[in-house]
Amino acid sequence: MIPVRDNIRSRRFPLLTVMFIAINVAVFVYQSGLAPGELRLFFLRHGIVPVQFNMLPRFLFAGRLDVVYHLLGTLVTGMFIHGNLIHLLGNMLYLWVFGDNVEDRLGRGRFVVFYILTGALATLSHIVSAPASTVPLIGASGAIAGVLGAYFVSFPGSRILALVPLFFFLHLTEVPAILFLLFWFVLQLISGVSALAPGAVDVVAWWAHIGGFAAGVILVRLMAPRRPRRRPRLDDWGGGGPDVL
């Protein structure tokens, strides 16, 4: 299913969501101008290479704080790099559809922290699932999975206008958000478990998606300001006075 929009309007302009989209697009435009060799080096320098994180204690004890800071920095830089145009457009579509409401729910300052933190936790989930991998991890999927997790618990009653495949055609239909996101998460979970099988080869970091979604579910509950409770009024019970027996 491909989301098009949801039925909840944000209360204010989603400045941070647009800013994150703009940064991702700007980085992609920059990397598109690199030669193939330069691009590979760019991925290695600014993406997350799981096997390097196994060496963090060694670098720390050796006093190589510059290397430690660089590796920790890739937890952030890696989430703004994409492998190709389809990778970028898919991630930015999900961020645009779901990000504005989560930004609304958290507030702008909290949303920045939430986005970076869920992205980092998603990356750590991938590192745990593939600690010996030498392939750089890039993309905003982990942070966006965190946004989906936050949306899942914050707006379960909303509806998503989505393109749904049916008999080789795409049909535009409304889907309850809770079903749309639950289906998305179960698909990631099935794919992630399959990727753990011996000899399995997969270019998608499924466990980053799973970890990011779980982090989003938890962190939005911890970080979101409490919604004020409306005091019940007499009118709520259907009249100005009690029934007479």
More reliable by pLDDT, 1 or 28: 28
The token pair at 168 is 């080789």
Q: What is the pLDDT of residue 239?
A: 47
The token pair at 107 is 């507030």
What average pLDDT does range 127-153 have in this prediction? Answer: 91
Residues 6+ apart with CB under 8 A from 79: 116, 119, 123, 138, 139, 140, 142, 143
The predicted-structure confidence for 152-196, as pLDDT tens digits, reads as follows: 999 988 999 888 877 777 788 888 999 999 999 999 998 888 877
Q: What is the mean pLDDT of the chain?
A: 86
Is 218:117 a contact under the CB 8 Å cutoff?
Answer: no
Q: What is the pLDDT of residue 230?
A: 53
Please, which pLDDT band fits residue 202 given cuts at 50, 70 and 90?
low
In a domain, 244, yes or no: no
Residue 241 reports pLDDT greater than 60: no
What average pLDDT does range 69-90 have in this prediction? Answer: 91
Instruction: Give the structural domain span for 43.
Output: 2-195+204-224
Is 212:125 a contact under the CB 8 Å cutoff?
Answer: yes
Residue 228 reports pLDDT greater than 80: no
* Number of domains forming the structure of the chain: 1
CATH number of the domain that residue 145 is part of:
1.20.1540.10
In a domain, 241, yes or no: no
In a domain, 234, yes or no: no
In a domain, 70, yes or no: yes
In a domain, 178, yes or no: yes
The predicted-structure confidence for 16-61, as pLDDT tens digits, reads as follows: 999 999 999 999 999 999 999 999 999 999 999 998 888 888 888 8
pTM of the model: 0.86
Please, which pLDDT band fits residue 198 given cuts at 50, 70 and 90?
low
In a domain, 239, yes or no: no
As a whole number of angstroms, the distance between CA 103 and CA 122 comes to: 19
In a domain, 218, yes or no: yes
Q: Looking up tokens 């949303």, which residue turns up? A: 111
Q: What is the pLDDT of residue 201?
A: 57
More reliable by pLDDT, 76 or 239: 76
Residue 139 reports pLDDT greater than 70: yes
Among 37, 41, 21, 40, smallest CA distance to 29 is for 21
In a domain, 233, yes or no: no
Residue 64 reports pLDDT greater than 90: no
What average pLDDT does range 190-210 have in this prediction? Answer: 77
Residue 149 reports pLDDT greater than 50: yes
